[in-house]
Structure 1
Amino acid sequence: MKEQDIGGSTSTKNFIPFGGGMRTCVGAEYSKALMAVFLHVLVTKYRWKKVKRGRIYRAPTLQFGDGYFIHISRKND
C-alpha cells in the first residue's frame, strides 16, 4: 500500500498549525471548570421544585422532549 500525498487544498481533521501536535482545547478545560463551579453554587445555595413535567427519553442519553420546567429560589440559611 502506497502513501498518498494529501495536497495543499485538502484539509484533514488532525491538522494543527505551528507544529503543536495533538492537544486539547484550552477552552474545553475552562468550560469544565466553569460548569463545576456553577453546579456547586446551584446545589449548595439554591433549591428548586418541578413546575411542569416533561417527557423523558432514555436513549442513549437522557433527553427532555418538551423541556423540564423548574422554579429556582435562594435557600434561607
Structure 2
Amino acid sequence: MNNLENQVCDVLRGTLGLGKMPLSADSPLLGALPQLDSMAVLALLTALEEYFGIAILDDEISARHFATVGTLTAFVQSKRP
C-alpha cells in the first residue's frame, strides 16, 4: 500500500469511525460498509478536501469513485496538483 492510499484509509477510518479495520486497495466501500451512507459520503468528501487541500466539485462526484479504496485513492490522486 502506498503512502497516499494509507492516508486515504486513515481519513476513511476517522470519518466513518472504523477504528483499526483493515483496509486495502481492493476493499469494497459503497454498498459494503453500512457506515458509508449518503450523509457519510458528504462528510468523507469534506474530510478528503480538508486533509489533502483539494476541491471536489459536485459534478465530479460519482459512485464509481467509491467502489473500492483503490478507486477512491485514484480519484484523490487525480485532484491533487
Indicate the structure with greater strand content: 1
Higher helix fraction (1 or 2): 2
**Relative contact order higher in (CA < 8 Å, ≥ 6 apart):** 2
Say yes or no: TM over 0.5.
no
| TM-score, normalization by structure 1 | 0.25
Q: Which structure has the greater CA radius of gyration? A: 1
What TM-score, normalized to structure 2? 0.24
